[in-house]
Structures are given as structure tokens and as C-alpha cells.
Amino acid sequence: MSQHPGRRGFYFAPQCAKCGLSTGVFEVLGPGDMPERWGCWDARSQQLHSNRTDTDGWRMMMQAGGLDNGVVGEAIELDDDSAAALHRRLSEGDVEALESVSDDLLGHCVECGAFYCHLHWRAERCPGGHQRAQA
């Protein structure tokens, strides 16, 4: 549940099935939305986000694996219905909904459906012994 009433986007941070650590963060901001962790940001990051984002458009922010598109994120083409559908799919473990991101970037095992952090996701196999999907 979002800290921000009336929020149109969503915050998705799957947790490692072994230890509970976050495996990454994928956040969609609707027009006028504030980032979920806004209160944790320093003043410089808040100012940068405020000055460089369009409050009328949709944005995506991501931190996973070696990818981090920063406090500004990137503009994306979405509407309320497609954002809700994307959130539902991700919540159900359908990481294919993230067309531009590979499964192993979020630490997701296609075979067992679980997410794993960088400490538990081995180079070739998940903790359950399943072969890592090849991109």
C-alpha cells in the first residue's frame, strides 16, 4: 500500500525468498505522483527530481542489479489502466511484464517463480538448483 493517497503509479520491490532483502526496485510514477521513498531522499535529490520531471507525464524509476536510472528516472508511455495491469502482473510474479528488463536483473527464477537477492542468486543457478534463464 502506498504512503501517498491518490497515487496513480506503484512501487514494486520484490524480496529475496531466502532472506527477505530487496532484490531491486521498480517504480512507476503517474502524473503528479511523488516517489514512494521521497521522505528518505536528501534535499538535493528531491530538488533534482522536482526540477527535471514533468508532472503531467508518467515516469519509471529502477534500481536492480547494476541498473539505476537515478532520481529522475525516464519518461514512459502509460495510462491508468495499463499501469494498473502492469502492477497486477508484477504482483503476480509475471516479470515478463518488464519487457526491457531481463528476469535475472530482478533476481527472478523463471522455474520456481521466486525472487533472490545478490547474496543468494548464484552465477548459474538459483538456490533451488534451477538453471538461470539465458538472455
Q: pLDDT (tens digit, 9 = 90+) per residue, 7-63?
A: 889 998 889 999 999 888 889 999 989 999 999 999 999 999 999 888 888 999 988
**CA distance linking residue 91 with residue 38, whole number of Å:** 22
Q: pLDDT (tens digit, 9 = 90+) per residue, 84-114?
A: 898 888 888 777 777 555 545 677 887 888 8
pLDDT score of 114: 85
Residue boundaries of the structural domains of the chain: 10-96
Nearest to 132 by CA among 113, 116, 110: 110
**CA distance linking residue 16 with residue 21, whole number of Å:** 5
pTM: 0.76
Residue 100 gets which letter from DSSP? T
